[in-house]
Amino acid sequence: MHIQMSSNTNTRAVSLLMKYSRIAGAAAFIGGCVVFAGWIFNIPILMSFQPMSVTMKCNTALAFILTGGCLLLFHRHRKSLANDLMIKVFASVVLILSLLNVAEYISRSDLGIDQVIVYEPPGTPGTYNPGRMAPNTAFCFICLSTAMVLVTIRRKRTIMISQIMGLLSLLMTITALIGFLYSINEFYGFDNLTKMAHYAIILFIILDTGVLCAVPDKGIMDIVCEKEIGGFIVRRLLPAILFVPIFVGWLSLQGTRAGWFSSSLGVLIVAVTYILLIMTLVWKVARSLDTFDIEKKTAQLSLDKSVKENRFLANSIACINESVSITDEKDIIIFVNDAFLSTYGYEREEVIGRHISMLQPKEVITEAKSNILSETMKGSWKGEILNQRKDGTIFPIYLSTSIIKDEKGNPEALIGVAVDISERIRNREELISAKEKAEEISRLKTSLLNNMSHELRTPLIGVMGFAEILQSEIDDPVHKEMLALIHNGGKRLSDTLNLLLELSKIEADRLEIRNKQFNLSEVTRRQAESYEGAARIKGLALSIIIKDDNILANSDENMYSQIVDNLVNNAIKFTVKGKIKVILEKEVNYTEDKTEFNAVLKVVDTGIGLAEENFNLIFEEYRQVSEGLSRNFQGTGLGLTVTKKFVEKLGGTVSVESKLGSGSTFTVILPAINN
């Protein structure tokens, strides 16, 4: 049976008492069946305690079977109207049978129901009407059958009356027990009337207490299951006070009758035993109360701490700027903070107890709506959805949900934290629009550079060509120098155009990579040797060190050539005196899974060098260490930028090591082939 218990109820005591009630019902049922079988098969020991004692009648055994069955049915896990109806039918049969027996005693008549099942011959000890249950037995069954009918109604008042009926039956049974133990016939029977059987006394004590414990946290029994001091004392004192005096008095009486001691000494023994019992009980209760008080104080301290923590948490949730809502497992709102009310425009009483769907626009159907609850129950959910304010305004939020669990780990509630992302969405849209405009400008720039390149390159080639022709035909040194300046300026302008075009292709993602297998050693040597003249003019020593003449790569040869050109040209430009080294070697890296082969190109100079804070700056577009009109070295600042982008396109890396005034070393690492 499922019991709705208050927080002040000792759940362990309730569970134990209900378990005892089920066992008591089973014991009464089995005991009745055993006695009934004794009558059917004529086994005297099953009908009475000893040959000259009162027998438990067959109809009494049947009443125990039915009443015990009622108690077992009451404790079934599956409750139904049919189950309650069976209890009422069985209890009614017992009630009618008991009332008929009482009517026979009152009217001093025989209705012919006493020996319907089994015949009992006259002259049975303690029996004046063969087959008829004793009057006090009938009274107990009237109380118990009435109790079983009332308890099925499962209301507080009917449960209390049911327990009172069980208590009346228990008092009658204890009276009979005392009469039996102390040989007081009037206590367990009446003159010229059938007496209560010894087996019946035992089964009644079990069944009476079982009925009392059927619903232990309601009615007069609720004090037994209290957590507080009242329930504690009742559980400790009641069993001892109820049964120990009866047992001690019986022992004293038996000793007196046996002649072991006088009646006065027997009374003294009883008195001393009572004193010792009371002292023991008081001592045990005092010790237990002391422990109980310590546990209560400890629990109170723990409770105060929990209350403080919960208050702190509640205040923290109430003060945060995000909208916080807590719902139960059916998505009914049970808590919202002030930020939630401010964001959605509701008053607190307008949302508490409402379904969370009140915040979702009906005209907006999203898959997330149906997924939020199911995904949250699995752990958590995060995402962007649309919500609606009280005034009907629809706005986007970023929602994060998770489960709140109880101390046993079971889902207790759901918490959601929402952030209004209207401004974020607007900023994102503005960024997307700005990005699209920038991309469009970049495309226009690329198109413009392509057109300008064609328009500028054609006349530039003519200027450079005629300058070379005139240089070979004119002997005047002054004029030759002028023509050299014209040719060099044209070449510088051509190189600048080429860099701009390459950079624009990279930015527009229009750069085509034509991979093929080629010899890096040959290309490096060829490109580096083409700068020997330029190095000689500046008085620089250019050395080319190829450590392996057969370093192969599957890459873009033109891009690699441009990388070598840019690095060597850059080294010559920024080196005033000293030397330049171009070094190419193969590098092998061993890992657990495979062996990697790389080509390592190093360009080492003794130029002006770099400060460490400028290492990243030199790879940025249009940037040089010396900038402005007063800069010491010419150039657009695009050479190293294009070089870095080319290296990355080819799957490699480029780095620089330098010290201001002590030269620089540029290192390029590219994938190579194992040949």
pLDDT digits (tens, 9 = 90+) for 147-188: 999 999 888 899 999 999 999 999 999 888 888 887 777 766
The secondary structure of residue 192, as a DSSP letter, is T
Residues 6+ apart with CB under 8 A from 581: 543, 544, 545, 602, 603, 604, 605
**Would you call 653 helix, strand, or coil by DSSP?**
strand
Residues 500, 506, 507, 508, Cα dihedral to 10°? 110
What tokens does 444 get? Answer: 């226009």
Neighbours of 63 (CB within 10 A): 29
What are the pLDDT digits (tens) for 40-87?
Answer: 998 989 988 777 788 899 999 999 999 999 999 998 866 678 888 999
Nearest Cα to Cα of residue 196 among 51, 91, 53: 53
Position 69 scores a pLDDT of 94
What are the pLDDT digits (tens) for 183-226?
Answer: 777 766 666 778 888 899 999 999 999 999 999 888 888 887 77
C-alpha 147/C-alpha 158 separation (Å) is 9
Q: Are 494 and 460 in contact (CB under 8 A)?
A: yes
- pLDDT > 90 fraction of the chain, expressed in percent and rounded: 26
Position 501 scores a pLDDT of 63
What tokens does 373 get? Answer: 């609850």
Q: Higher model confidence: residue 492 or residue 70?
A: 70
4 falls in which pLDDT band (50, 70, 90)? Answer: very low
The secondary structure of residue 584, as a DSSP letter, is E
What are the pLDDT digits (tens) for 323-370?
Answer: 888 888 888 998 888 889 889 999 989 999 998 888 888 776 555 566
630 falls in which pLDDT band (50, 70, 90)? Answer: very low
Instruction: Count CA within 13 A, CB hemisphere, residue 418.
Output: 27
Position 307 scores a pLDDT of 73
pLDDT of 552 higher than 80: yes
Mean pLDDT within 558-579: 88
Neighbours of 249 (CB within 10 A): 19
Q: Using only the alpha carbons of the chain, give its radius of gyration.
A: 53
Q: Are 580 and 542 in contact (CB under 8 A)?
A: yes
pLDDT of 632 higher than 70: no
Average of per-residue pLDDT values in the chain: 82
Amino acid at 122: P
660 falls in which pLDDT band (50, 70, 90)? Answer: confident
Q: Higher model confidence: residue 462 or residue 388?
A: 388
pLDDT of 427 higher than 80: yes
C-alpha 117/C-alpha 103 separation (Å) is 19
C-alpha 590/C-alpha 12 separation (Å) is 67
Position 78 scores a pLDDT of 62
- pLDDT > 70 fraction of the chain, expressed in percent and rounded: 85
Residues 73, 78, 80, 83, Cα dihedral to 10°? -20
Q: Are 209 and 27 in contact (CB under 8 A)?
A: no
pLDDT of 310 higher than 80: no
What tokens does 645 get? Answer: 């982008």
**Would you call 325 helix, strand, or coil by DSSP?**
strand
Amino acid at 655: S
Nearest Cα to Cα of residue 652 among 600, 595, 594: 600
Q: Higher model confidence: residue 639 or residue 406?
A: 406
Q: Higher model confidence: residue 149 or residue 289?
A: 149
Mean pLDDT within 525-554: 90
Residues facing 355 on adjacent strands: 332
**Would you call 589 helix, strand, or coil by DSSP?**
strand
Residues 6+ apart with CB under 8 A from 49: 197, 198, 199
C-alpha 38/C-alpha 62 separation (Å) is 12
* H/E run at residue 505: helix 477-507
Position 499 scores a pLDDT of 59
Q: Higher model confidence: residue 263 or residue 527?
A: 527
Kindly list the distances between the CA atom of residue 384 and the CA atoms of 138, 330, 338, 526, 638, in Å, as whole numbers in the listed order. Answer: 75, 22, 22, 59, 43
Q: Are 379 and 403 in contact (CB under 8 A)?
A: yes
The secondary structure of residue 391, as a DSSP letter, is T
**Residue listed under structure tokens 């014209």:** 486
Position 424 scores a pLDDT of 87
Q: Are 211 and 162 in contact (CB under 8 A)?
A: yes
**Would you call 186 helix, strand, or coil by DSSP?**
helix
Q: Sign of the CA dihedral 638, 643, 644, 648?
A: positive
pLDDT of 89 higher than 80: yes
Q: Are 56 and 35 in contact (CB under 8 A)?
A: yes
pLDDT of 626 higher than 60: no
C-alpha 22/C-alpha 72 separation (Å) is 6
Q: Are 307 and 290 in contact (CB under 8 A)?
A: no
| Residues across the chain | 675
What are the pLDDT digits (tens) for 5-29?
Answer: 445 677 888 889 999 999 999 999 9
The secondary structure of residue 540, as a DSSP letter, is -
pLDDT of 636 higher than 60: no
Q: Are 308 and 394 in contact (CB under 8 A)?
A: no
